[in-house]
Amino acid sequence: MRVLYAIFANGQPWLRLISSITTYYAARIVCTNQPFATEAGDVPEGTLSLVISRTVAEGIHEDLDITNYGLSPVRFTFEVALRSDFADLFEVKSHTFVRRGRIVTAWHDKRGELHTSYSFRDFDRHFIYRLRNSGSSPAYANGRITFEIDLEPGATWHACGDYLLVQGARIRAPRRSCAPEHHDTAVDELQR
């Protein structure tokens, strides 16, 4: 399965400044905004910082942190576009994709979850993107999860996203979470 991921501020893609692996199970991506228009006026490039921190243990946990480094308040729509294609490993390696089966995506507003399911003959898989600890309520429209963000100068907005992989009765949920909630796993103990 492949998950295709893109992020936007008022429809404009973010610019990646740097990305790195911070430990054997974690990575961090730092982005800034391109210039974009809002109802209150234009937001210059480099006003906002987006830090995406991801940890992997069974599933994937990501923290999204946006900071306003400008001198004025900023109100905009933050968008996350997620697509899953459940491609076969051999198709991914050869870059030749054949559409099979049926993919269905549904947004569960009360739970803040995006569910994508794939079925083909006796093969059945699900991908769930679960949002929590969000600084604003998520919504889903036009294939994107959206957040209305209102940031004063120097303020930070935060949200968590969990990637859950479901195969039959087995759910691969992240074993790691936000830093304040983080508990060492058995693998951490072994490495220590």
Helix (H) or strand (E) holding 187: helix 186-191
Residues with Cβ < 8 Å from 144, sequence gap 6 or more? Answer: 8, 79, 80, 81
Please, is 69 exposed, middle or buried when counting C-beta atoms within 10 Å of its C-beta (0-12, 13-18, 19+)? middle
pLDDT tens-place string over residues 102-141: 888 899 999 999 998 888 888 788 889 999 899 899 999 9
pLDDT tens-place string over residues 37-91: 999 999 999 999 999 999 998 889 999 999 999 999 999 999 999 887 766 666 6
Domain regions of the chain by residue span: 3-191
CA–CA gap between residue 163 and residue 124 (Å, rounded): 17
Backbone angles phi, psi at 93, to 5 degrees: -65, -35
Specify the CATH class of 3-191 in words. Answer: mainly beta
If one compares 186 and 120, the residue with the highest pLDDT of the two is 120
> Taking the chain, what is the end-to-end CA distance rounded to the nearest angstrom?
32
If one compares 96 and 33, the residue with the highest pLDDT of the two is 33
pLDDT for the residue numbered 174: 85
